[in-house]
Amino acid sequence: MLVEECLLQAEEIRDWMIDLRRELHQFPELMYEEVKTSARVRRTLDELGIVYRYPVAQTGVVASIGRGDGPCVALRADMDALPIHEQTNVEFRSRNDGKMHACGHDCHTAMLLGAAKILKQNESQVGGTVKLLFQPAEEGGAGGKRMRDEGVLENPAVQRIFGLHVWPQLPTGALGARPGVFLAAAGWVEITVRGKGGHAAMPHLAVDTVLTSAQIITNLQSVISREIDPLDSGVISITMVHGGDAYNVIPETVHLRGTIRSLSLAGLQQIQQRVREVAAQIAQAHRCEAVVEFPGNDYPPTVNDEHCWNVAKDLAGRLVGGEHVVELAPVMGGEDFAYFAEKVPGCFVALGMRNPEIDAVYGVHHPKFKADESVLPLGTAMHVAFALSSLDELRRDTYQP
Ligand code: NI
Centroid of ligand 1 to alpha carbon of 256 (angstroms) = 24
Centroid of ligand 1 to alpha carbon of 77 (angstroms) = 10
Centroid of ligand 1 to alpha carbon of 31 (angstroms) = 12
The rounded percent of the chain whose pLDDT value lies above 70 is 99
User: What homologous superfamily does CATH list for 3-183+301-399?
Assistant: Zn peptidases (3.40.630.10)
Pairing type for strands 72-78 and 160-171 reads parallel
Per-residue confidence (pLDDT) for residue 352, from 0 to 100: 98
Closest CA to 76 of 349, 298, 400, 392: 349
Per-residue confidence (pLDDT) for residue 168, from 0 to 100: 96
Q: How far apart are CA 184 and CA 182, in angstroms?
A: 7
Per-residue confidence (pLDDT) for residue 1, from 0 to 100: 84
Per-residue confidence (pLDDT) for residue 140, from 0 to 100: 87
Please compute the mean of the pLDDT values over residues 294-322 and round it to a whole number: 96
Q: How far apart are CA 349 and CA 77, in angstroms?
A: 12
Going 296 to 300 to 108 to 49, the CA torsion angle's sign is negative
Instruction: Determine the residue type at 291.
Output: V
Tell me: pLDDT of 399 over 70: no
Centroid of ligand 1 to alpha carbon of 105 (angstroms) = 6
Centroid of ligand 1 to alpha carbon of 336 (angstroms) = 9
Burial (0-12, 13-18, 19+ Cβ within 10 Å), 331 = buried
Q: How far apart are CA 187 and CA 297, in angstroms?
A: 6
Instruction: State the pLDDT confidence band at 350, using cuts at 50, 70 and 90.
Output: very high
Going 4 to 10 to 14 to 18, the CA torsion angle's sign is negative
Centroid of ligand 1 to alpha carbon of 258 (angstroms) = 18
Centroid of ligand 1 to alpha carbon of 83 (angstroms) = 13
Per-residue confidence (pLDDT) for residue 56, from 0 to 100: 98
Per-residue confidence (pLDDT) for residue 26, from 0 to 100: 98
Centroid of ligand 1 to alpha carbon of 297 (angstroms) = 16
Per-residue confidence (pLDDT) for residue 7, from 0 to 100: 97
Predicted model pTM: 0.93
Centroid of ligand 1 to alpha carbon of 102 (angstroms) = 8
272: left (phi over 0), alpha (psi -120 to 50) or beta: alpha
Residues 151-207 have pLDDT tens digits of: 999 999 999 999 999 999 999 999 999 999 999 999 999 999 999 999 999 999 999
Centroid of ligand 1 to alpha carbon of 216 (angstroms) = 30
Residues 130-167 have pLDDT tens digits of: 999 999 999 989 999 999 999 999 999 999 999 999 99
Centroid of ligand 1 to alpha carbon of 100 (angstroms) = 12
Please compute the mean of the pLDDT values over residues 230-235 and round it to a whole number: 94
Tell me: pLDDT of 296 over 90: no
Per-residue confidence (pLDDT) for residue 396, from 0 to 100: 87
Instruction: State the pLDDT confidence band at 2, using cuts at 50, 70 and 90.
Output: confident
Tell me: pLDDT of 82 over 80: yes
Centroid of ligand 1 to alpha carbon of 81 (angstroms) = 9
Instruction: State the pLDDT confidence band at 378, using cuts at 50, 70 and 90.
Output: very high
Centroid of ligand 1 to alpha carbon of 165 (angstroms) = 7
CATH of domain 185-293: 3.30.70.360
Please compute the mean of the pLDDT values over residues 327-334 and round it to a whole number: 96
Centroid of ligand 1 to alpha carbon of 277 (angstroms) = 32
Centroid of ligand 1 to alpha carbon of 104 (angstroms) = 6
Q: How far apart are CA 38 and CA 40, in angstroms?
A: 5
Domain 185-293 in the same topology as domain 3-183+301-399: no
Domain boundaries, the chain: 3-183+301-399, 185-293
Centroid of ligand 1 to alpha carbon of 169 (angstroms) = 14
Bond preceding residue 377 cis, omega within 30 of 0? no
Q: What's the whole-number average pLDDT of the chain?
A: 96
Please compute the mean of the pLDDT values over residues 60-70 and round it to a whole number: 95
Per-residue confidence (pLDDT) for residue 100, from 0 to 100: 98
Instruction: State the pLDDT confidence band at 85, using cuts at 50, 70 and 90.
Output: very high
Centroid of ligand 1 to alpha carbon of 379 (angstroms) = 15
Residues 247-257 have pLDDT tens digits of: 999 999 999 99
